[in-house]
């Protein structure tokens, strides 16, 4: 069942959350119609990537083009009656081309995160339901109430202006009537006019009182609007936008926040607030202007309009400066002279005519001390501690997305000036930040604002080997930084449970699957170097030094270095099996052995090596000589090994591994990840491939049926590895047409298959191989019959073999020479030859050895090539004596060859 099919079985509230996370830029219909196509391409793509890499950008661009083509193809293939679906898909294809052609990474990363959230909702649907925040309704209701208040205030202000105009007309009429009254000679008429004038003045005074009341009521409404705006803005900026910024730090550790509000929603809220504040500001100005024209109110009446104007201007300033944000953070581990990207965005760019001026944004890098000074003074610092190329750009408005932003895609840090180190500090502990700053006018240019914002902490490195420790600094900071901290202070001691959650989040984002509670407890015991009860207390704390400074016991690396290496090898080479749950990974060696001892022979599990960075080992059940189960551990594989052959291919090669713990056949678990056979590059050659082979070691010999156990003399091919293992591996080439078998009973003569090969005392391949007439590869010592299997049937032994075995049994000879001559039919005309046996006196010559060697060469001339073939072993040397022209023999010795495979 596809991921989307499982998502649609979730409760309705969870479905609403999933639809919400896709946002307006990616219609949910596209997810529905292209469900399998999208999942096939993105489901196993890592969430946490360096998005500034050119390869990642190219991958995103390719995906965008394929998505558009698939949308158009799907729209054509929809039924004719599904007109709405066709229109929606074609419209989406056009929008994607317009929106994301210049920045395909934005869509690519968004979809990867959305799929990751879908997985989380399936795994933890109750958490998704709980994400719904009741305060969102408060924000929406508050904005709606403010919009009604603003409209009411605007209407009241408009009516008040009309009242002012009528009042002015009445006052003008009174003035005119006074002048006319003075001109009347008739006393009676004059008195009548005076009475009418008094009534007019009485009416005007009543109108003034009424207008004053309306104005005071309007001022009161202004204050209510400002107060409610402040409350809503506080919630939007200091709860949701601040949480979004905090989530950016968590996202630096790989988290994908399940917040009910995304940045587009916050932008819509901020734009509404900007319009509300600006309209309120204009209305206050208008009310002040009208009041100043009449100046008829009582002088002792308090005037709140100037104070209200100051308050609303401060709200506007806070809104503008806070909504200048870094939408896409720069890489937090930054290498000098390496291209990187970042994006800044002004959330109120669609209002106040800001977009018309395309403000310039400048980027600089500042030290921790400079960041502190910038925060304290609330002014962007003109200082910098490095040189950044391509560090300026203009905010541009996108009509389709309604966003005012600028993307810096080709910045490079050329120089960096570091602070003086104290104590044990290193360059990987030093934090910097990128400072983005700009200035612009709003409205009609009467207000100018300078805005700035600081990125998340950045560690600057010059070499790749500094990366692990740098990520320790960043991981700790992202997980435990307080939003209102002094840059860039973090606690030196934190709760282990909080750190464990951060590590789990980082591992899940990097590899695709979370760790199990058992994995987490193992990490806890490893970090604290002690056995601890499960679950651990919330009071258990871990220090920065324990986390990444102090080496683990009997090791040269720290806990973080070990964890980082395991995460890296899983992400790069083991992602599929890890996501399937085929890798246990984080588990004690002893506990793994306890699990396996309850299982049948050939059951195995995979765990991360305790002693080798980035190593993963296979523990499996074998039978000892007494028939009891014993646990063997194959020498750990690292990324270098997987570059040669994948883990799945190696497990397929190991024929003694049957079941993945507890009882899953290995082919069911790993066949989907094995490498399919490739086509030969040249059909004139027999194709070959690399194979992995289990080999016995000193301490734990591998027992095979009907085979005496005598491998005590074999050594590991790589003694430099510090992991004690009982099974070792090597690689040999084999023909694709030959099935590998372990230690078959095969003769070791020339032209025959060989079952095992030795170099010195090391075994390098028990796999059967189709060889040339050269016999065993150069320098391959042939094993004694006790180490290979049952010897060939007894035959009449040449005297040289009897002599050799007698000397070997006596233990007093290391080389045996014979007077045996080679048959004349094997030699060139006129030549004679003899055979000298060379081997250790502690090994026995297999019976029938000489017969097997010579049987394939009966009746052939022994030319130079054949001589070399006979000499390609460590048991014997062939010497020929060509016949000289004078009838005497001239010796021509062919030295023994002992080259390793």
What is the DSSP annotation of 454-523? EPSPBEEESSGGGHHHHHHHHHHHHHH--TTSSTT---SEEEHHHHHHHHHHHHHHHHSSPPPHHHHHHH
CA separation, residue 878 to residues 721, 747, 862 (Å):
40, 20, 11
- Coil, strand or helix: which one is 177? helix
In the predicted structure, residue 798 carries a pLDDT above the cut 60: no
Q: pLDDT (tens digit, 9 = 90+) per residue, 136-157?
A: 878 888 999 999 999 999 898 8
CATH code, residues 495-673: 3.30.505.10
The CA distance from 375 to 373, in Å, is: 5
Could you say which DSSP state residue 528 is in? H
Residue 341's H or E segment, with its range, is: strand 339-346
Q: Are 766 and 743 in contact (CB under 8 A)?
A: yes
Predicted pLDDT at 334:
94
pLDDT at 164: 82
Quick one: CA torsion of 306, 312, 313, 316, rounded to 10 degrees? Answer: -170
Q: 175: which residues sit within 8 A by CB, 6+ positions away?
A: none
Task: Please check the confidence at residue 261 and state whether its pLDDT lies above 80.
Answer: no
What is the separation of C-alpha 892 from the centre of its chain, rounded to a whole number of angstroms? 66
- 233 falls in which pLDDT band (50, 70, 90)? very high
When pLDDT is cut at 50, 70 and 90, the band that residue 589 belongs to is: very high
pLDDT at residue 419 in the model: 85
| Buried b / exposed e along 865-892 (16+ C-beta atoms within 10 A) | ebbebbbbbbbbbbbbbeeeeeeeeeee
DSSP 763-789: EEE-S-B---TT-SPTTBPPPPHHHHS
Confidence (pLDDT) at 400: 76
| In the predicted structure, residue 550 carries a pLDDT above the cut 90 | yes
User: Which string of b and e fits 809-822 if b means at least 16 CB within 10 Å?
Assistant: eeeeeeebebebeb
DSSP-derived 3-state class of residue 542: strand
For residues 323 and 120, the model is more confident at 323
Confidence of residue 340 (pLDDT cuts 50, 70, 90): very high
For residues 197 and 188, what is the distance between their CA atoms, to the nearest angstrom?
14
Tokens of 91: 């419209």
CB 449 within 8 A of CB 442: yes
Euclidean distance between CA atoms 888 and 824, whole angstroms = 17
Eight-state DSSP code of residue 565: H
Over residues 384-411, the pLDDT tens digits come to 999 999 999 999 998 877 889 999 999 9
| 479-503 pLDDT per residue, tens | 999 888 999 999 999 999 999 999 9
Q: Look at the block and give the residue holding tokens 């951060």.
A: 502
CA 552-558-559 angle, to 5 degrees, is: 85
240-254, 675-689, 752-766 — which one is most confidently predicted on average?
Answer: 240-254
- Average pLDDT over every residue of 355-366: 91
Q: How confident is the model at residue 893 (pLDDT cuts 50, 70, 90)?
A: very low
Nearest to 872 by CA among 775, 767, 756: 775
Q: Map tokens 């005076």 to a residue.
A: 194
Q: How far apart are the first and last CA of the chain?
A: 49
Q: Backbone dihedral region of 709: left (phi > 0), alpha (psi from -120 to 50 degrees) or beta?
A: beta
| Cα separation, 116 vs 374, whole angstroms | 37
pLDDT at 131 over 70: no
Domain boundaries, the chain: 3-132, 136-319, 329-418+427-462, 495-673
* 230 or 734, which is more confident: 230
Residue 166 or 708, more confident: 166
CB distance 843 to 808 below 8 Å:
yes
Given a cut of 70, whether residue 204 has pLDDT beyond it is: yes
Write the CATH number of the domain with boundaries 3-132: 1.10.532.10
Rounded to the nearest integer, the mean pLDDT of the chain is 76
Return d(Cα 335, Cα 633) in angstroms, integer. 39
Question: How many residues in the chain?
Answer: 901
> Which of 330, 351, 172 lies closest to 273 in space, CA to CA?
351
The pLDDT tens digits for 28-69 are 889 899 989 998 888 777 654 444 566 778 888 899 999 999
C-alpha to C-alpha distance for 434 and 380, rounded to whole angstroms = 11
- Distance from C-alpha of 869 to C-alpha of 847, rounded to nearest angstrom: 21
Residues 6+ apart with CB under 8 A from 289: none
Closest by CA position to 563, among listed 506, 487, 514: 506
**How many Å apart are CA 508 and CA 387, to the nearest integer?**
35
Q: Residue 52: what pLDDT?
A: 52
The string of pLDDT tens digits covering residues 83-130 is: 888 888 988 898 888 878 877 887 888 888 788 778 878 876 665 655
Q: Express each pLDDT in 694-737 by its tens digit.
A: 776 555 555 444 333 333 332 333 333 333 343 333 333 333 33
Q: What pLDDT, on the 0 to 100 scale, is given for residue 288?
A: 87
Average pLDDT over residues 302-326: 92
- For domain 329-418+427-462, the question of CATH label 3.40.50.300 is answered with no
Under CATH, domain 136-319 is a member of which superfamily? STAT transcription factor, all-alpha domain (1.20.1050.20)
Name the band, by pLDDT with cuts 50, 70 and 90, for residue 595. Answer: very high
Judge whether residue 776 has pLDDT over 70.
no
Position 315 pLDDT exceeds 70: yes
Q: For residue 48, count other CB atoms closer than 10 A to its CB.
A: 22
pLDDT tens-place string over residues 597-644? 999 999 999 999 998 999 999 999 998 888 888 999 999 999 999 988
The answer to whether 16 and 125 have CB atoms below 8 angstroms apart is no
> Using CA of residue 523, residue 524, residue 530, residue 531, what is the dihedral sign?
negative
Q: Indicate the burial class of 665 (C-beta count within 10 angstroms; 0-12, 13-18, 19 or more).
A: exposed
What pLDDT does residue 412 have? 95
Residue 570's nearest CA partner among 52, 46, 59 is 46
- What's the pLDDT score for residue 771? 32
| Residue 646 pLDDT exceeds 80 | yes
Instruction: Copy the structure tokens of residue 744.
Output: 């078959």
Q: What percent of the chain has pLDDT over 70?
A: 73
Residue entry with tokens 């070792």: 728
* Single pTM value for the model: 0.67
Higher pLDDT, 419 or 892: 419
Compute φ and ψ for 420, nearest 5 degrees: -75, 130
* Residues whose CB falls within 8 Å of the CB of residue 171, separated by 6 or more in sequence, listed in order: 204
Confidence of residue 329 (pLDDT cuts 50, 70, 90): very high
């Amino acid at each position: 069942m596809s991921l989307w099919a499982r998502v649609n079985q979730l409760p309705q509230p969870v479905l609403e959350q999933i639809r919400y996370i896709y946002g307006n830029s990616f219609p949910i219909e596209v997810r529905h119609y292209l469900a399998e196509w999208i999942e096939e391409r993105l489901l196993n793509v890592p969430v946490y990537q360096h998005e500034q890499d050119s390869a990642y950008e190219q991958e995103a661009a390719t995906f965008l083009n394929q998505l558009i083509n698939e949308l158009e193809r799907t729209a054509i293939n929809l039924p004719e009656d599904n007109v709405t679906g066709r229109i929606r898909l074609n419209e989406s294809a056009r929008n994607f081309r317009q929106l994301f052609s210049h920045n395909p990474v934005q869509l690519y990363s968004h979809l990867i995160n959305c799929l990751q959230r879908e997985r989380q909702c399936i795994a933890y649907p109750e958490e998704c339901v709980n994400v719904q925040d009741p305060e969102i309704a408060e924000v929406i209701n508050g904005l709606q109430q403010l919009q009604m208040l603003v409209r009411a205030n605007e209407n009241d202000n408009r009516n008040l202006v009309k009242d002012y105009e009528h009042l002015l007309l009445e006052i003008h009429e009174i003035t005119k009537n006074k002048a006319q009254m003075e001109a009347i000679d008739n006393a009676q008429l004059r008195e009548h006019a005076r009475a009418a004038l008094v009534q007019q003045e009485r009416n005007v005074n009543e109108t003034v009182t009424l207008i004053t009341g309306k104005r005071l009521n309007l001022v009161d409404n202004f204050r209510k609007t400002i107060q409610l705006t402040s409350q809503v803005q506080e919630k939007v900026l200091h709860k949701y936008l601040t949480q979004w910024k905090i989530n950016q730090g968590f996202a630096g550790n790989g988290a994908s926040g399940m917040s009910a509000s995304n940045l587009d929603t916050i932008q819509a809220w901020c734009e509404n607030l900007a319009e509300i504040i600006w309209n309120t500001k204009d209305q206050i100005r208008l009310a002040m202007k009208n009041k100043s024209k009449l100046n008829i109110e009582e002088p002792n009446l308090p005037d709140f309009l100037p104070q209200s104007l100051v308050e609303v201007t401060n709200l506007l300033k806070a809104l503008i400066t806070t909504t200048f944000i870094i939408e896409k953070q720069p890489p937090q581990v930054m290498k000098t002279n390496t291209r990187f990207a970042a994006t800044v965005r002004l959330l109120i760019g669609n209002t106040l005519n800001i977009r018309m001026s395309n403000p310039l944004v400048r980027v600089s890098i500042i030290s921790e001390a400079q960041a502190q000074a910038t925060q304290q003074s609330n002014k962007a610092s003109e200082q910098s501690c490095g040189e950044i190329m391509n560090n300026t750009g203009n905010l541009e408005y996108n009509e389709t997305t309604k966003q005012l932003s600028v993307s810096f895609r080709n910045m490079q840090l050329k120089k960096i000036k570091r602070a003086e180190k104290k104590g044990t500090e290193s360059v990987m502990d030093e934090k910097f930040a990128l400072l983005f700053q700009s200035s612009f006018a709003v409205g009609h240019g009467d207000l100018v604002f300078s805005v700035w914002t600081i990125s998340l902490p950045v560690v600057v490195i010059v070499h790749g080997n500094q990366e692990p420790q740098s990520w320790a600094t960043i991981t700790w900071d992202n997980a435990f930084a307080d939003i209102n901290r002094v840059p860039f202070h973090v606690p030196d001691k934190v709760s282990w449970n909080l750190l464990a959650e951060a590590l789990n989040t980082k591992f899940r984002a990097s590899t695709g699957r979370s760790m199990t509670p058992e994995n987490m407890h193992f990490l806890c015991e490893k970090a604290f170097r002690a056995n601890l009860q499960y679950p651990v207390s919330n009071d258990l704390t871990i220090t920065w030094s324990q986390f990444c400074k102090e080496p683990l016991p009997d090791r040269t690396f720290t806990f973080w270095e070990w964890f980082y290496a395991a995460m890296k090898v899983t992400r790069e080479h083991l992602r599929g099996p890890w996501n399937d749950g085929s890798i246990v990974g984080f588990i004690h060696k002893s506990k793994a052995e306890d699990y396996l001892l309850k299982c049948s022979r050939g059951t195995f599990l995979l765990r991360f090596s305790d002693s080798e960075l980035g190593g993963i080992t296979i523990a499996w059940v074998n039978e000892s000589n007494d028939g009891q189960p014993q646990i063997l551990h194959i020498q750990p594989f690292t990324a270098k090994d997987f570059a040669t052959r994948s883990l799945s291919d190696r497990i397929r090669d190991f024929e003694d591994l049957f079941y993945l713990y507890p009882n899953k056949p290995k082919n069911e678990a790993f066949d989907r990840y094995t490498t399919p056979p490739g086509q030969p590059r040249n059909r004139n050659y027999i194709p070959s491939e690399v194979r992995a082979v289990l080999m016995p070691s000193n301490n734990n010999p591998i027992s095979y049926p009907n085979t005496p156990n005598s491998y005590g003399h074999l050594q590991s091919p790589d003694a430099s590895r510090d992991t004690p293992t009982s099974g070792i591996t090597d690689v040999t080439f084999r023909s694709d047409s030959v099935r590998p078998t372990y230690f078959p009973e095969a003769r070791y003569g020339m032209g025959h298959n060989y079952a095992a090969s030795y170099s010195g005392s090391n075994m390098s391949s028990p796999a059967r191989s189709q060889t040339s007439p050269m016999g065993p590869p150069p320098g391959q010592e042939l094993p004694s019959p006790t180490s290979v299997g049952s010897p060939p049937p007894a035959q009449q032994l040449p005297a040289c073999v009897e002599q050799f075995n007698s000397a070997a049994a006596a233990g007093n000879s290391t080389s045996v020479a014979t007077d045996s001559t080679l048959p004349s039919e094997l030699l060139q005309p006129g030549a004679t030859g003899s055979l000298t046996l060379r081997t250790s006196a502690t090994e026995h010559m297999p019976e029938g050895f000489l017969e097997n060697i010579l049987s394939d060469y009966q009746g052939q001339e022994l030319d130079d090539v054949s001589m070399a073939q006979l000499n390609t072993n460590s048991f014997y040397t062939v010497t020929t004596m060509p016949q000289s022209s004078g009838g005497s023999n001239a010796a021509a010795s062919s030295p023994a060859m002992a080259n390793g495979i």
